[in-house]
Amino acid sequence: MELTPEKLKGSFLSLEVSPPREPTLNPLLEKIEESGVLEYIDAFSVTDAPLSVPKYNSVIAGYRLQSRFGKPVITTITMRDRNKIALIGELLGANDLGVTTILALTGDPVRLSPIEAKGVFEGNSLFLLELIATLNRGIDPVTGKEFKTSPKPFLPLAVSNSSPNNWRGLERKIWKKIEKGAEGIITQPVYNLGDGERLLQIMEKVKKEFGRGEIILGFFPITSYRTALFLKEKLPGVTLPEKIFKIMEKAHQKGKEWELEEGLKISRELFHQLWELHPKIHFMSSNRFHLLPQLLPSHWRKREGK
């Protein structure tokens, strides 16, 4: 049930899950089961309070998903909410639960939160990757000595923009994250093949240097003009082609049904093109899990497991 670097080398489809601000995960688990996605995906990914909105703990959510569905989970941990004491404690607990694939994030700024809070930020995602690398050597980061009980191997991952203003700067960031121990990079949503190709070229250069590293292209379906507007104006590091924006703008004027139909048509075509380019995709949908089967081709190979 654990992910390994070898499993990331083949075709790979992960599904993002955002835990609720509720004291139970049960309704969300039922929603996933009813959506019909389980037979298509290789793994789940769990967010950690995106936009600094308090949510159900990502490690516990990851454990429950793995236990319920028998599929591996990529669990996000952000630097924003934890000092070194909390980070070490959370990683040790996650390891014991078998939640060992960690997506290291710095985290969205606290100013976005609906409540007053202070960010911690003792370091960025690179510090978290270094901490995981220490644990993977079997070393207690507090004492510098070996643990009495060796921890299970962690599989660290990191994130990347998909369409930056400065591609050289992005390459340096990806390079640094792989150098610090990340086995793979998950990108923000990709909406044109040119960006996807440049990301693949960067990862090929990084692979030649370090002998490892996979890239997983992010994808978020466009089902409304509102989504297109957000991607165009509010999400840094992502570029939505003007042609797509104009189509969704016109569709919006014709009504919601037409808007959804056009959005699904565009998203289906984009998804298929990206999969043909690089069959490793991270599917994000704000918990609208039912959208995934609608975008997959009829001959899609069903995955193993539940």
Residues with Cβ within 8 Å of 254's Cβ and at least 6 positions away in sequence, in order, are none
Q: Which residues of the chain have pLDDT under 50?
A: 305-306
pLDDT confidence of residue 2: 82
Query: Which token pair is 229?
Result: 């507007």
pTM of the model: 0.95
Q: At what angle do helices 167-179 and 125-136 cross, to 10 degrees?
A: 20
- Say how far apart CA 228 and CA 206 lie, in whole Å: 32
| CATH class of domain segment(s) 5-295 | alpha beta
Residues with Cβ within 8 Å of 178's Cβ and at least 6 positions away in sequence, in order, are 158, 185, 206, 210, 212, 213
Q: Where are the domains of the chain?
A: 5-295
- Say how far apart CA 178 and CA 170 lie, in whole Å: 13
Q: Give the amino acid at 131.
A: L
pLDDT confidence of residue 299: 67
pLDDT confidence of residue 94: 98
pLDDT confidence of residue 297: 81
- Say how far apart CA 293 and CA 25 lie, in whole Å: 23
End-to-end CA distance of the chain: 11
Can you tell me whether residue 104 is helix, strand or coil? strand
**pLDDT tens digit string along 289-301?**
999 999 998 767 6
- Say how far apart CA 74 and CA 2 lie, in whole Å: 9
* Burial environment of residue 27 by CB neighbours within 10 A (0 to 12, 13 to 18, 19 or more): exposed
Please calculate the CA angle 162-262-286 and round it to the nearest 5 degrees.
50
Q: Give the amino acid at 31.
A: K
Give 157's strand partners: 103, 184
- Exposure pattern of 118-130 as b/e (b: 16+ CB <10 Å)? ebbbebebbbbbe
Residues with Cβ within 8 Å of 146's Cβ and at least 6 positions away in sequence, in order, are 138, 139, 140
